[in-house]
Amino acid sequence: MTAAPVPKIRIRGLTKAFGPKRVLDGIDLDVPTGTSFVIIGGSGSGKSVLLRCILGLIEPDSGVIEIDGENVLTANAARREVLIERIGMLFQNGALFDSLPVWENVSFGLLAKRGRGNRITRAEARTRAATFLSQVGLDPSVGDLSPSELSGGMQKRVGLARAIASRPEILFFDEPTTGLDPIMGAVIDGLIVDCVKKLGSTAIAITHDMASARRIGDEAAMLYRGKLIWQGRAADLMDSGNPMVDQFTHGRREGPISMELRR
């Protein structure tokens, strides 16, 4: 045994089926501290389910999920909450709280940690929210709007601001740039890279955008039929040598992956 450093996230043999449908079928994954990991895969291949399993939002059928070497699935409820608190998540659909104004969405995590050594007034939280909003390219005046008054891309950026606001050790991004224009997409990618490099966070990002994948990711993997069929450097995504990954990243109709359009 070599004394390899404990990965931030370590997954072994993770399986999850919904009824007869095996969505995750033995996932093994190591994400070292401070790296950002990109997961690609077809629509409905189980990428979001994988992140939800790690977050404890879906109970997997079997397997091991460790955060900092501690098994999340066997931890008791209280301990689990502590582990999960290290993770910030940008949901695929934003999942903004529509009963709260945008600024309160952004600073929700900060305010939630109030009274646990983190003294912050609502006025301060509001100022902080404005800073985060400008980081994701939104005017601070957006803070007073309700989430339903925002465009889809704006909602995504608010979701991103909310995820990074409490500076979590681990960040999950579920399609951070889908629905954004290319320039804003590049800005958001830059922001994600900043978070990982400057704050030393560990990130897992799901994306369908290959340019974005190479910009964000240090490492990458492809999920297909419940398994990670390829894992390597994100820079190699476009010429991985794996025929399935090649077909996917180049968007070819013909290849080993036959889209099951009619089942």
Ligand X SMILES: Nc1ncnc2c1ncn2[C@@H]1O[C@H](COP(=O)(O)OP(=O)(O)OP(=O)(O)O)[C@@H](O)[C@H]1O
- Closer CB to ligand X, residue 46 or residue 176? 46
Residues paired with 192 in a beta bridge: none
- Residue 257, SS3 per DSSP: coil
Distance, in Å, from the CA atom of 176 to the CA atom of 157, rounded to the nearest integer, reads: 8
- Closer CB to another protein, residue 113 or residue 128? 113
Taking CB atoms, the residue at the shortest distance from Mg ion is 48
Residue 173 interacting with another protein (CB under 8 A): no
Least separation in angstroms between residue 204's CB and ligand X is 12
Residues paired with 209 in a beta bridge: none
Element (H, E) at 12: strand 9-18
Least separation in angstroms between residue 3's CB and another protein is 32
Q: Residue from 13, 74, 98, 131 that binds another protein (CB under 8 A)?
A: 98
| Buried/exposed code over 81-95 (b: 16+ C-beta within 10 A; e: otherwise) | eebbbebbbbbbebe
The interface with ligand X within residues 17-46 (CB under 6 A) comprises 18, 23, 41, 43-46
Least separation in angstroms between residue 11's CB and ligand X is 15
The interface with another protein within residues 102-121 (CB under 8 A) comprises 108-109, 112-115
Residues paired with 233 in a beta bridge: 219
- Nearest by Cα to 247 from 227, 226, 222, 219: 222
Least separation in angstroms between residue 229's CB and Mg ion is 18
- Binding site partner of 181, from another protein, ligand X, Mg ion, none, Cβ cut-off 5-8 A by kind: none
Report the chain's terminal Cα–Cα distance, integer Å.
Answer: 46
Asked if 204 and 34 touch (Cβ cutoff 8 Å), the reply is no
Q: Residue from 35, 36, 48, 202 that binds Mg ion (CB under 5 A)?
A: 48
- Binding site partner of 41, from another protein, ligand X, Mg ion, none, Cβ cut-off 5-8 A by kind: ligand X
108 phi/psi in degrees, rounded to 5: -55, -45
State the CB neighbour count (10 A cutoff) for residue 251.
Answer: 8
Distance, in Å, from the CA atom of 25 to the CA atom of 240, rounded to the nearest integer, reads: 23
Least separation in angstroms between residue 212's CB and ligand X is 14
Would you call 15 exposed, middle or buried from its count of C-beta atoms within 10 A (0-12, 13-18, 19+)? Answer: middle
**Contacts with Mg ion, residue ranges (CB under 5 A):** 48, 92
**Contacts with another protein, residue ranges (CB under 8 A):** 18-20, 52, 55-57, 59, 77, 80-81, 84-85, 87-89, 91-93, 95-99, 108-109, 112-115, 162-163, 166
**Contacts with ligand X, residue ranges (CB under 6 A):** 18, 23, 41, 43-49, 92
